Amino acid sequence: MKISPTGIQITNRFFRAIETLKEQGEIRGLQTFTDRHKINRWNLNTVKFNPETSVLKPEWINLLVCDFGVSADWIITGKGKIFGNSNFVVQIDETKTKITIGEIEQFIGCKCTVSYTPNTVTKTAVGVPKTIRYANSDKAFSVIDIEDEKGKTRTIPICSILSIAEI
């Protein structure tokens, strides 16, 4: 099967996002991603090394968007930032989260530590929560953007937050 130039660009951005997550320490590499999500690594490698003839599955893109806050807009169009600033927002059921929206809102603008588990490993982010991006007007929410001391923004799915504390 011959993949269109646009399809190849989407595939390349997908793997650029995987590399960025690796550089940030969110995952150790492609194998970590495939193991966590029960994806056949050889299938994903085939897509990586043969983007002109191999199809990138939409569900793999969904995993990056939902689990790691990668911008769906960026993966699909190449516009905007790799993380955050996306019009695509994951709808999360607030009743299934470990922390309430009210608890998170009180830390907007304050320097704090956030412990979260995007998958199976607990991570810590230190910075200032800037925004909560909601899925709809009912305040079913998706992610929080936290800016660190260097000005880098990390997008964290709210459903993965274990605790948040002011420093």
CATH number of the domain bearing residue 130: 2.30.30.520
| pLDDT in the model for residue 118 | 66
Instruction: Judge whether 126 lies within some domain.
Output: yes
Segment 142-167 shows an average pLDDT of: 84
Statement: residue 61 has pLDDT above 70 = yes
Instruction: Judge whether 105 lies within some domain.
Output: yes
Domain span including residue 12 = 5-77
Instruction: Judge whether 89 lies within some domain.
Output: no
Cα angle value 29/34/39 (rounded, 5°): 160
Looking at the fold, whether 120 and 59 belong to one and the same domain comes out as no
Looking at the fold, whether 103 and 44 belong to one and the same domain comes out as no
pLDDT-derived band at 158, boundaries 50, 70, 90: confident
Instruction: Judge whether 113 lies within some domain.
Output: yes
| pLDDT in the model for residue 160 | 77
Looking at the fold, whether 12 and 62 belong to one and the same domain comes out as yes
Looking at the fold, whether 103 and 70 belong to one and the same domain comes out as no
Q: Percentage of the chain with pLDDT > 70?
A: 83
Segment 149-164 shows an average pLDDT of: 83
Instruction: Judge whether 82 lies within some domain.
Output: no
Looking at the fold, whether 52 and 98 belong to one and the same domain comes out as no
Segment 112-116 shows an average pLDDT of: 89
Instruction: Judge whether 43 lies within some domain.
Output: yes
Statement: residue 111 has pLDDT above 80 = yes
Looking at the fold, whether 160 and 99 belong to one and the same domain comes out as yes
- Phi and psi at 156, nearest 5°, equal -120, 125
Q: How many domains does the chain divide into?
A: 2
> What is the dihedral sign for C-alpha 35, 38, 41, 42?
positive
Instruction: Judge whether 85 lies within some domain.
Output: no
Looking at the fold, whether 67 and 9 belong to one and the same domain comes out as yes
**Which stretches within 78-165 are classed as H helix?**
101-105
Instruction: Judge whether 133 lies within some domain.
Output: yes
Which comes out higher in pLDDT, residue 96 or 166? Answer: 166
pLDDT-derived band at 47, boundaries 50, 70, 90: very high
d(CA 82, CA 39): 23
How crowded is residue 22: how many other Cβ atoms within 10 Å of its Cβ?
15
